[in-house]
Amino acid sequence: MGISLRDTKSAQQYQRALQYLPGGVNSPVRAMRSIGRDPLFVDRAEGAELLDIDGNRFIDYVCSWGPLIHGHAHPEILRVVGAAAQKGTTFGAATAGEVDLAEEVGRRVPSVEMLRMTSSGTEAAMSAIRLARAATGRTKLLKFAGAYHGHVDGLLAEAGSGLATAGLPASPGVPEAATAATIVVPWNDGEALVAATDEHEFAAVLAEPYPANMGLTPPHQGFLELVRARASQNGALLVFDEVISGFRVARGGAQELTAVLPDITVMGKVIGGGLPAAAYGASRDLMEHIAPAGDVYQAGTLSGNPLAVAAGLQTLRMLDDAAYMRLQSITERLATGLRSAAGDRPVQVQSVCGLVTVFFSAEPVVDYETAKACDLDAYGAWCRALLARGVYPPPSQFEAWFPSLAHTTEQLDRTIEIAAAAFAEIA
């Protein structure tokens, strides 16, 4: 399988990797199996451009799946990380930088007064649920089909048949008991949401406010408001997973863009500026349940790591209003261009500031069912054609493109020309 030539360095590394890493990678989507080719082996990257170990250049729209909103190897981020490293890479003790970062997040994210840092979004989501369960004294969770909140057992649930069903384990090794308390509801389906919140008492209603893990499927008009209202009526805490949307769709994330405020916010990706960091935050009242202020236990050896904090803080400091206006126009140029490259083909280009998905579907994609109905073979062929011409798109239909502030007009226009050629090739 795959188009890589046997004698490329990448192909050689992949053969080696297959011996030592399951599937040759440390995270599944990197293997590029869903688009039917072998993985990239990266040498280095700068700005919006990435080089593989064979010297092939790509305009990168994966950007490490979201953290690199300023592009690769931004000099200011390298500078602060280098300076932090000179002082020591980890202490397992408090630093002033962590307080600076929490203060900056509190200034930006409307519903967050306090936060706790973790090293990954998975940990942050897992801990947010623990907090919600402790604060409500309830167990059940409501999640939306096609949303991804990291690989914690209780959230690796997929929908059974029916409108709002008890979750089924989405992976072997996840016990049925772990997902039985997770009710899965179709996204953008008000009726199913109302039915589920009438029937069950939830600790938490979890949502990606701009879901991007089934490709970008924005909320319908009024849907987030309904989610907010139903969570409150139910006595559940509303958890927004802003690991992708946070600091990307707007300065304060989706909650600023939509003015719908959650009780708990899960953050990741941009908050670590390209180093491992994530966080969950809420009001002071809620966050003071967390140890040692309260009795809800959660900890981490590398939580608040000084290098990640330096990168995250510098990343946020460079994200002012002008940066968001620029990211918006970069996103629009890309989305509009991809739409015109697709012409009258059965393709939908859906976007919000900093996120784009090209769905191979004749109809708009509004939920997991419509996402799964896309022409995955055509998407795979188009991605292979893009990669062969020097554009690196997300190698799965169920992901978003992450345009960054480093993408130049010339790179965007070249991408659109290449996209048109790739559409023509697969026709």
Q: Is residue 208 at the binding interface for ligand PLP, with CB under 6 A as the rule?
A: yes
Q: Pattern of binders to ligand PLP over 89-128, x per CB under 6 A?
A: -------------------------------xxx--x---
DSSP string, 186-225: -TT-HHHHHHHHHH--EEEEEE-SS--BTB--PPPTTHHH
Distance separating alpha carbons of residues 353 and 373, to the nearest angstrom: 25
Q: Is 12 in the site for ligand PLP (CB under 6 A)?
A: no
Pick one of 112, 244, 308, 356: the residue that binds ligand PLP (CB under 6 A): 244
Binding mask 43-82 for ligand PLP (x = CB under 6 A): ----------------------x-----------------
Nearer to ligand PLP, 208 or 263 (CB): 208
Q: Respond yes or no: is residue 241 known to be catalytic.
A: yes
Measuring CA to CA, which residue among 243, 241, 247 is closest to residue 143?
241
121/186 with CB nearer ligand PLP = 121
Looking at 164-172, 241-249, 320-328, 404-412, which segment touches ligand PLP (CB under 6 A)?
241-249
Minimal distance in Å, beta carbon 422 to ligand PLP?
Answer: 25
Measure the N-to-C terminal CA separation of the chain; round to a whole number of Å.
22
Among 131, 243, 257, 341, binds ligand PLP (CB under 6 A): 243
C-alpha to C-alpha distances, 260 to 110, 111, 254, nearest whole angstrom: 10, 9, 8
Beta bridge partners of 134: none
Interface map 146-165 toward ligand PLP (x if CB under 6 A): --xxx---------------
Between CA 390 and CA 395 the distance in angstroms is: 14
Residue 104: Cβ within 10 Å count: 16
- H helix and E strand count, the chain: 14, 16
Residue 89: helix, strand or coil by DSSP?
coil
Q: Rank residues 129 and 378 by Cβ distance to ligand PLP and give the closer one.
A: 129
For residue 363, with 0-12 CB atoms within 10 Å meaning exposed, 13-18 middle and 19 or more buried, which class applies? exposed
Stretch that binds ligand PLP, among 42-50, 145-153, 178-186, 191-199 (CB under 6 A): 145-153
Q: Is 148 a catalytic residue?
A: yes
Contact flags string 356-395 toward ligand PLP, x per CB under 6 A: ----------------------------------------
> Within 10 Å of residue 25's Cβ, how many Cβ atoms?
16
- Evaluate whether 265 touches 255 at the Cβ level (below 8 Å): yes
- Return residues touching ligand PLP (CB under 6 A): 65, 120-122, 125, 148-150, 208, 213, 241, 243-244, 268, 278
The residues annotated with a catalytic role in the active site are 148, 241, 269
